[in-house]
């Protein structure tokens, strides 16, 4: 009875523009812990709404909360808060403060779901919080310049949070993680963002699966992090002079499997990343499927499909410590006499041309010219410039399905 007490006594408050309780801010101050606020349909011109006790704030038919560009809108500073079904617009843009539509500070067990955020600066900002869930929100920004736009979902010093089924578009970074560990990011769509669809910094042991990252300014960047699992994501159409499907920088001990990289300028750009397993990924129609810039050791590439990329692998050093095994390469021309499904001749994925392009980028004009084909062929027969041991000794004859 003592345990049920709070539930039994929980009160439901109805907020509507014409009712007794017409202000969300004031109603929160009157409410006790574990009460529920039902916000009825209407427009509420309020900002800096402080939620300092465990409440459920639930919108009925998407009430509009208009911040009138004056500042932050919701600030949660209590454990066990639920926000559900609100339509938040007009977050104030500031050059000194990171104003967010919803900011969660040092809180646990929160749930933010079914929210729609538009005309925002920062969307959902989680600060030193943990054990929460950000589920099924729609964040639509109109970012034009990097300096005066914010991130869709930002996690800062947070841990054990689930980010699921959100749709983020038109912000600076779609989802941004900094110093955040044990985060699960699944089924999100992040597209048309100014900079990165997803951005990791100093965040370890995170998992992201089944997300779609499309047409972002620079794709997805994973930097300075350890033990990250990336599975079954789709990276599409990240085109541009410095756009990547995925950019890995100083990443160690990660697993990248079952992802699809399609029509990106560069599928994966790898720099200083070690002990990473690339398994069962599909690289389709990219400019460069994988571009290795330097200091990458003990990585293994197994069972990937490389289909119709202009360059499969580009490498800028002569040293190779990475293993390529059992991949399918659409430009493989070998044969399989013993019919075991594995080509009898090794495949060398690094073309001399990609080496030349690394050195002098302008030479890309000679792509697919007869001269380059002849040079590539002779290099393939007897490698001089490309690492001698960089080869797939067991290329698949048929595409891995």
Using CB under 8 A, which of 63, 123, 287, 395 touches another protein? 287
What is the residue whose two structure tokens read 């983020």?
A: 168
By CB under 8 A, how many residues form the interface with another protein? 32
Q: Which is nearer to another protein, 63 or 219 (CB)?
A: 219
308 sits near another protein (criterion: CB under 8 A): yes
Angle at the Cα of 178 from the Cα atoms of 177 and 182, rounded to 5 degrees: 65
Which of these ranges, 128-136, 158-166, 204-212, 366-374, lies near another protein under the rule CB under 8 A? 366-374
311 sits near another protein (criterion: CB under 8 A): yes
Q: Which is nearer to another protein, 47 or 355 (CB)?
A: 355
Long-range contacts (CB closer than 8 Å, 24 or more residues apart) made by 252-256: 252/226, 252/227, 252/276, 253/226, 253/227, 254/222, 254/225, 254/226, 254/227, 254/228, 254/229, 254/230, 255/228, 255/229, 255/230, 255/231, 255/279, 256/230, 256/231, 256/281
Which of these ranges, 44-52, 204-212, 271-279, 282-290, lies near another protein under the rule CB under 8 A? 282-290
Minimal distance in Å, beta carbon 231 to another protein?
24
Which of these ranges, 5-13, 118-126, 319-327, 357-365, lies near another protein under the rule CB under 8 A? 357-365
Q: Which is nearer to another protein, 269 or 273 (CB)?
A: 269
Asked if 259 and 235 touch (Cβ cutoff 8 Å), the reply is yes
364 sits near another protein (criterion: CB under 8 A): yes
Q: H or E element: which one contains 26?
A: helix 24-30
Q: Which is nearer to another protein, 114 or 358 (CB)?
A: 358
Q: Which is nearer to another protein, 360 or 401 (CB)?
A: 360
Asked if 176 and 197 touch (Cβ cutoff 8 Å), the reply is no
Minimal distance in Å, beta carbon 243 to another protein?
8
CA distance 173 to 193: 6
Minimal distance in Å, beta carbon 360 to another protein?
4
356 sits near another protein (criterion: CB under 8 A): yes
Which of these ranges, 89-97, 178-186, 260-268, 317-325, lies near another protein under the rule CB under 8 A? 260-268
Q: How many CA atoms lie within 13 A of 286 on its CB side?
A: 29
Q: Which is nearer to another protein, 93 or 364 (CB)?
A: 364
365 sits near another protein (criterion: CB under 8 A): yes
How buried is 323 (Cβ within 10 angstroms: 0-12 exposed, 13-18 middle, 19+ buried)?
A: middle
CA distance 152 to 163: 12
Using CB under 8 A, which of 1, 20, 361, 401 touches another protein? 361
266 sits near another protein (criterion: CB under 8 A): yes
The backbone torsions φ and ψ at residue 358, rounded to the nearest 5 degrees and listed phi first, read -60, -40
The token pair that represents 301 in the structure block = 């590439």
288 sits near another protein (criterion: CB under 8 A): yes
Of 330, 337, 358, 346, whose CA–CA distance to 388 is shortest?
A: 346
369 sits near another protein (criterion: CB under 8 A): yes
Using CB under 8 A, which of 84, 173, 263, 392 touches another protein? 263
Q: Is the dihedral of CA 317, 320, 323, 327 positive or negative?
A: positive
Q: Which is nearer to another protein, 225 or 238 (CB)?
A: 238
Helix, strand, coil content of the chain in percent (nearest 5): 10, 40, 50
401 sits near another protein (criterion: CB under 8 A): no
260 sits near another protein (criterion: CB under 8 A): no
Q: Which is nearer to another protein, 8 or 370 (CB)?
A: 370
CA distance 312 to 291: 8
265 sits near another protein (criterion: CB under 8 A): yes
Of residues 213 through 252, those in contact with another protein by CB under 8 A are 239-243
377 sits near another protein (criterion: CB under 8 A): no
Q: Which is nearer to another protein, 60 or 364 (CB)?
A: 364
CA distance 155 to 91: 18
Q: What is the CA radius of gyration of the chain?
A: 25
25-to-21, 246, 328 alpha-carbon distances in Å? 10, 42, 60
Of 160, 167, 89, 99, whose CA–CA distance to 130 is shortest?
A: 160
Residues that bind another protein (CB under 8 A): 239-243, 263-266, 285-288, 308, 310-311, 356, 359-372, 374
């Amino acid at each position: 009875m003592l345990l049920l007490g709070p539930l039994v006594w929980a009160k439901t408050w109805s907020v509507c523009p014409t009712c007794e309780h017409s202000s969300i801010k004031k109603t929160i101050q009157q409410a006790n812990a574990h009460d529920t606020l039902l916000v009825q349909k209407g427009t509420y011109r309020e900002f800096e709404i402080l939620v300092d006790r465990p409440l459920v704030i639930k919108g009925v038919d998407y009430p509009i909360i208009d911040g009138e560009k004056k500042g932050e809108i919701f600030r949660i500073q209590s454990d066990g808060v639920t926000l559900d079904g609100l339509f938040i617009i007009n977050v104030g843009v500031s050059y000194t403060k990171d104003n967010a539509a919803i900011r969660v500070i040092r809180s646990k067990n929160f749930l933010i779901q079914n929210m729609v955020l538009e005309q925002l600066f920062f969307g959902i900002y989680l600060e030193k919080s943990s054990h929460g869930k950000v589920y099924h929100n729609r964040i639509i920004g109109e970012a034009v310049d990097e300096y005066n736009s914010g991130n869709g979902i930002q996690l800062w010093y947070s841990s054990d949070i689930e980010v699921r089924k959100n749709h983020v578009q038109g912000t600076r970074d779609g989802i941004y993680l900094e110093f955040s560990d044990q985060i699960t990011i699944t089924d999100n769509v992040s597209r048309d963002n100014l900079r990165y669809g997803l951005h990791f910094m100093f965040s370890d042991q995170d998992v992201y699966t089944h997300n779609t990252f499309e047409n972002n300014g620079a794709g997805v960047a994973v930097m300075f992090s350890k033990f990250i699992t990336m599975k079954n994501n789709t990276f599409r159409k990240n085109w541009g002079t410095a756009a990547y499907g995925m950019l890995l920088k100083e990443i160690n001990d990660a697993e990248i499997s079952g992802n699809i990289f399609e029509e990106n300028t560069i599928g994966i750009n790898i720099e200083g990343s070690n002990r990473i397993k690339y398994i069962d990924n599909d690289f389709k129609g990219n400019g460069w499927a994988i571009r290795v810039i330097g200091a990458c050791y003990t990585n293994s590439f197994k069972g990937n499909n490389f289909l119709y990329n202009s360059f499969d692998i580009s490498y800028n050093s002569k040293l190779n410590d990475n293993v390529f095994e059992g991949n399918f390469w659409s430009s493989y021309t070998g044969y399989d006499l013993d019919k075991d499904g594995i080509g009898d001749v090794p495949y060398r994925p690094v073309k001399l041309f990609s080496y030349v392009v690394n050195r002098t980028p302008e030479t890309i004009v000679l792509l697919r010219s007869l001269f380059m084909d002849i040079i590539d062929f002779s290099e393939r027969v007897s490698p001089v410039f490309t690492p001698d041991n960089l080869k797939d000794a067991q290329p698949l004859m048929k595409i891995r399905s």
